[in-house]
């Protein structure tokens, strides 16, 4: 996979609050949050790709922030496993090797099984049903392709719907969806259309079980979905998980 510098394509954010105003208000973390969100959105949209070098001067100019604020945000992203920092060569969008992907899938599967079970138990109101139906319908529209960034955003919204309907706030906090976005962005160029269709079908099966109010079926649907994901990972070429020299 070509890992190019796409910073030139990153749009400026003129509507973002000026850093001086934020600093004056004492809400310094708002700047850090804004940088973190911009990089995460960049990964989803394809402006940033795994292995890409993040040039500090470009980011500070695009986001209208100081270098110290940028570095603070990059430290947070590094702690979340989204960015890799090298003391001599700077920051890079992280690349996941096969072991990291396997570990991530293990964690995601257990958390998502719980989320689906909770949602199935509590999907009893018209509002809850509408939330699930709307989220999965949006994902289904990307079964045959479509914009990668939009798909990743809709995929997160589907999980958000499970969390909301299930009523467990901690699941939303601890589920590493940003790390999952990184993983999906990394492997998407290597996936076939058939693999993508199966992935979307997995979400549809989970939603169907939740809407039927069947926790056991929802649990099985998530297990089957992750089994298919692991099978798809095994079929990918080695370069899909290649690392880079820092």
pLDDT tens profile 172-207 = 889 998 899 899 888 888 888 888 899 999 999 999
Q: Tell me how far CA of residue 217 lies from CA of 32, 115, 124, in angstroms.
A: 41, 13, 16
Over residues 106-135, mean pLDDT = 97
Query: Which pLDDT band, with edges at 50, 70 and 90, does 208 fall under?
Result: very high
In the chain, % helix, strand, coil (3-state, to 5) comes to 70, 5, 25
Q: What's the average model confidence in pLDDT over 217-230?
A: 97
Q: Coil, helix or strand for 93?
A: strand
pLDDT tens, residue by residue, 154-167: 998 999 999 999 99
pTM for this prediction = 0.80
121 pLDDT higher than 90: yes
pLDDT surpasses 80 at 6: no
Percent of the chain topping pLDDT 90: 49
Q: Is the pLDDT of residue 212 over 70?
A: yes
Check residue 245 and give its pLDDT. 43
DSSP tag of 16:
S
Instruction: Label residue 134 by pLDDT band (50, 70, 90).
Output: very high
Q: What band does 8 get if pLDDT is binned at 50, 70 and 90?
A: very low
The pLDDT score that the predictor gives to residue 243 is 57
Strand order in the sheet with 90-93: 53-54, 90-93, 83-86
pLDDT at 21 over 70: no
| Of 4-8, 112-116, 240-244, highest mean pLDDT | 112-116
Q: Using the 8-state DSSP alphabet, how is residue 125 labeled? A: S
Domains in the chain (CATH in brackets) are: 7-93 (1.10.10.10), 98-241 (1.20.120.530)
188 closest CA partner among 233, 234, 158 = 233
- Read off the pLDDT of residues 28-74 as tens digits, 9 standing for 90 and up: 457 778 888 888 888 888 888 899 999 999 999 988 888 888 988 89
């Amino acid at each position: 996979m070509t890992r190019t510098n796409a910073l030139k394509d990153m749009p400026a954010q003129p509507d973002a609050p000026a850093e001086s105003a934020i600093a004056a208000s004492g809400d310094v973390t708002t700047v850090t949050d804004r940088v973190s969100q911009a990089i995460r959105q960049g990964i989803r949209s394809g402006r940033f790709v795994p292995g890409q070098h993040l040039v500090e001067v470009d980011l500070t100019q695009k986001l209208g922030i100081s270098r110290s604020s940028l570095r603070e945000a990059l430290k947070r992203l590094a702690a979340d496993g989204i960015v890799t920092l090298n003391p001599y060569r700077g920051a890079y969008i992280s690349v996941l090797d096969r072991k990291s992907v396997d570990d991530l899938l293990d964690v995601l599967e257990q958390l998502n099984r719980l989320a689906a079970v909770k949602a199935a138990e509590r999907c009893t109101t018209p509002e809850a049903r509408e939330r699930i139906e709307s989220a999965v319908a949006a994902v289904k529209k990307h079964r045959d392709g479509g914009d990668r960034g939009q798909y990743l955003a809709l995929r997160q919204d589907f999980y958000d719907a499970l969390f909301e309907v299930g009523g467990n706030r901690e699941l939303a906090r601890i589920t590493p969806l940003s790390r999952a976005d990184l993983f999906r962005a990394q492997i998407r160029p290597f996936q076939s259309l058939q693999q993508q269709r199966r992935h979307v079908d997995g979400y549809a099966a989970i939603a169907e079980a939740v809407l039927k109010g069947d926790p056991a079926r929802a649990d099985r649907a998530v297990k089957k979905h992750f089994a298919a994901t692991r099978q798809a990972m095994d079929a990918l070429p080695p370069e899909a998980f290649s690392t880079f020299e820092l």
